[in-house]
């Protein structure tokens, strides 16, 4: 029995790790969405965290806890000069500005010889484990869950619903939005640092625009009304390609394009029929049961 579980864990170890990593990235998007900000620079923050942690362990011989702390702190500090001007923007303009930041980071890394340019860094010491990734994810989830029910969480909800009204109530909306951008940057940087030390390598092309789209899809498909939605979306869409691995050859489609097609169809279906995300399925099912019970009565 134990030997069978060990074999199963060895087979799906990478999938379990990426469920945790994608969960962290989805939460990093959720932090800005929780106050109504569509900030999409998280791939750039993840790249900064990954390279900061990798360089500290490879070139400076820093202990892994210090490198992981740097993976969170450095992107959070970078978010301050970025957030001060761009958080004045709203909607699609904010999204475009932050996507541009991510592309600037990626192109800068591609052209930086010190980090081996487009080839990236290899032979990074494997310091991260599946258990550590899930511990970090659990801590981040607990933090955001406690935050949502606090005075801070109510202020964020007020900003998301009506920012001008929140300002008239005395809420410092600029400070709250900047703080959440910094928190999202720290979570994305943590995910990047953990990924670099789990996969032995890091390269700029792993943090392109498609990675941002994946993060946003995780959050939207799962649902942004609660902290559990992005986690559910990330878990579901990370496991789904593994479940479809044998289906792609039967359809004559490569696994990559098939994954993108299925993700797009799921996103479209959720937007049309489940605006609150997959996490709202349980509530809708209970409402329908209650409605049927009332009609029967």
Most confident region among 64-73, 91-100, 250-259 by mean pLDDT: 64-73
Domain that holds residue 15: 2-296
- Does the structure show a pLDDT above 80 at 155? yes
Q: What is the CATH number of the domain that holds 160?
A: 1.10.3470
Residue reference for tokens 């980071």? 105
pLDDT digits (tens, 9 = 90+) for 40-64: 999 999 999 999 999 999 998 899 9
- The predicted pLDDT at position 269 comes to 84
Across the chain, mean pLDDT equals: 88
pLDDT tier at 186, thresholds 50, 70, 90: very high
17 is written with which tokens?
A: 């790790």
pLDDT tier at 248, thresholds 50, 70, 90: low
Q: Taking the complete model, does pTM exceed 0.85, yes or no? A: yes
- The predicted pLDDT at position 79 comes to 95
Can you tell me the distance from the alpha carbon of 195 to that of 18, in angstroms, rounded to the nearest whole number?
Answer: 8
Share of the chain above pLDDT 70, in %: 92
C-alpha dihedral, 183 to 184 to 189 to 195, nearest 10°: 130
Regarding predicted confidence, which is higher, 24 or 286? Answer: 24
- The predicted pLDDT at position 180 comes to 94
pLDDT tier at 12, thresholds 50, 70, 90: confident
The structural domain count of the chain equals 1
73 is written with which tokens?
A: 């702190």
Distance of CA 277 to the CA centre of its chain: 16
pLDDT digits (tens, 9 = 90+) for 136-151: 999 999 999 999 888 8
pLDDT tier at 170, thresholds 50, 70, 90: confident
Share of the chain above pLDDT 90, in %: 50
Q: Give the pLDDT mean for 83-87.
A: 89
């Amino acid at each position: 029995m134990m030997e069978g579980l060990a074999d199963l864990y060895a087979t799906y170890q990478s999938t379990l790790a990426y469920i945790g990593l994608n969960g962290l990235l989805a939460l990093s998007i959720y932090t800005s969405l929780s106050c109504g900000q569509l900030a999409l620079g998280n791939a750039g923050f993840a790249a900064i965290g990954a390279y900061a942690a990798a360089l500290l362990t490879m070139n400076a011989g820093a202990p892994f806890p210090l490198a992981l702390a740097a993976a969170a702190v450095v992107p959070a500090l970078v978010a301050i000069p970025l957030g001060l001007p761009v958080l004045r923007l709203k909607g699609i303009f904010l999204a475009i500005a932050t996507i541009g930041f991510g592309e600037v980071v990626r192109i800068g890394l591609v052209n930086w010889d010190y980090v081996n340019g487009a080839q990236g860094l290899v032979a990074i010491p494997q310091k991260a484990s599946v258990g550590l990734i899930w511990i970090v994810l659990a801590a981040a989830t607990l933090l955001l869950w406690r935050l949502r029910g606090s005075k801070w969480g109510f202020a964020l909800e007020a900003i998301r619903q009506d920012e001008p009204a929140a300002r008239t109530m005395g809420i410092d909306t600029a400070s709250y939005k900047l703080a959440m951008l910094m928190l999202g940057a720290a979570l994305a940087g943590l995910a990047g640092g953990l990924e670099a030390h789990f996969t032995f390598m890091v390269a700029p092309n792993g943090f392109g625009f498609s990675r941002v789209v994946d993060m946003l899809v995780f959050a939207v498909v799962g649902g942004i009304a609660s902290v559990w939605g992005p986690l559910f979306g990330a878990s579901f869409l990370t496991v789904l390609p593994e479940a479809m691995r044998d289906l792609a050859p039967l359809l004559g489609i490569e696994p990559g394009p098939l994954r993108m097609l299925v993700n797009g169809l799921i996103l479209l279906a959720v937007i049309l029929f489940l605006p609150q995300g997959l996490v709202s399925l349980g509530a809708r099912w209970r409402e329908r049961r209650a409605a049927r019970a009332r009609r029967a009565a």
